[in-house]
Amino acid sequence: MDSQDYITAGSWAAAMLRSSTPLMMVTLGETLTQRVGIVNLGIEGQMLCGACVGFAAAAQTGSPELGLIAGAVAGVLLSLVHAVLCLGCSANQIGSGIAVWTLGLGLTSYFGRAVIGGKVSGLASMAGPGFASVPFAGPILTQLTPVAPLAIALVLFGGFWLYRTRTGLNWRVVGESFEASRALGIRPLLVQFQAILVGGLLSGFAGAILSVDYTQTWANEMTKGRGFVAVGLVIVARWNPNLVLPVVLLFGLSEAATLRLQTTGLAVSPYLIGCLPYLVCLTCVVIVSLREGRIGGMPAELASVFGRRH
């Protein structure tokens, strides 16, 4: 490979990481939430709220950092609705999640009208244009912002925390058995409440990354189902944060390939090409589901949500 080939490879890697970063955050959040026996289909709405509020805050203040923080806070606030419904009112988790998604969709469609089509300045890249000609690393450093390595670091930390710390062990115990967790002095409802808020924080942050740093604009329903894709990717990752990174990178690679294919002038509808990442996700879910009898991973309390036990 000559230097140009390395630069092309680096450009592909940068595109893959840019597409993967928001999804990495929301998939990690949903993985941790489901590990304590809670399903939150409302993360799509939480992402939308994070994207809308984050973009509006960045546009008003001129600070993309404040926009990201505001988006994360918006995700937490909306996740409180799911926590109150599920933990306080014993509502069905699936129904509650759909309600939260619909609420987030409605709120952003109404309040986001004022900022549709606006533009903000995202975070600065990790290196200046002078590094663009550096083989492989150049395109990555010049096209990516610090949120990409931050997302990777958080995913790696999430795996370490869940499997190597006492608090992570408590969360796993809650996900496997309420009775056992209570016998060990753990408060399962408190743990579930914390997990829902963590999921809300990461999904809101993911939405803000999408609008403030990735697209640098706001449009209605701009998440395009990424929250629901994250729910599927949690299954593919077997509820294991250590597998979130490779699984999400596969989706990011397919999305980057989709964007490249749409610019090649193929005599194929761009709408069909745009289905490629979702087909990849669906295929992975089907494959994993067919192997379910041989591969474990679903927490027992989570299985009870769907009316079944291991």
Q: Is residue 190 part of a domain?
A: yes
Residue 217, phi then psi, degrees to nearest 5? -155, 170
CA 244, CA 248: separation in Å to the nearest integer?
Answer: 6
HEC profile of 183-231: HCCCCHHHHHHHHHHHHHHHHHHHHHHHHHHHCCECCCCCCCCHHHHHH
CB-side exposure of 308: number of CA atoms within 13 Å? 4
Q: Which residues pair with 217 in a beta bridge?
A: 119
Q: Is residue 272 part of a domain?
A: yes
Residue 126, phi then psi, degrees to nearest 5? -75, -15
Q: Is residue 265 part of a domain?
A: yes
CA 238, CA 300: separation in Å to the nearest integer?
Answer: 13
CA 141, CA 272: separation in Å to the nearest integer?
Answer: 32
Q: What pLDDT is attached to residue 306?
A: 66
Decide if 28 contacts 154 (C-beta within 8 A). Answer: yes
Q: What is the pTM of this model?
A: 0.92
Q: Is residue 239 part of a domain?
A: yes
Question: CATH no. for residue 216?
Answer: 1.10.3470
> pLDDT means per 10 residues in the chain (310 residues)?
66 87 96 96 96 96 96 97 95 94 96 91 84 78 92 96 96 94 95 97 97 94 91 91 93 82 69 78 79 67 68
Q: What pLDDT is attached to residue 294?
A: 46
Burial class (CB within 10 angstroms; exposed 0-12, middle 13-18, buried 19+) of 172:
middle
SS3 state at 101: helix
CA 49, CA 67: separation in Å to the nearest integer?
Answer: 12
Q: What pLDDT is attached to residue 293?
A: 52
Number of domain units in the chain: 1
- Tens of pLDDT, residue by residue over 73-96, are 999 999 999 999 999 999 999 999
Q: What pLDDT is attached to residue 310?
A: 44
Q: Is residue 310 part of a domain?
A: no
Burial class (CB within 10 angstroms; exposed 0-12, middle 13-18, buried 19+) of 267:
exposed
Q: What pLDDT is attached to residue 287?
A: 80
Q: By residue range, what is the domain housing residue 224?
A: 3-305
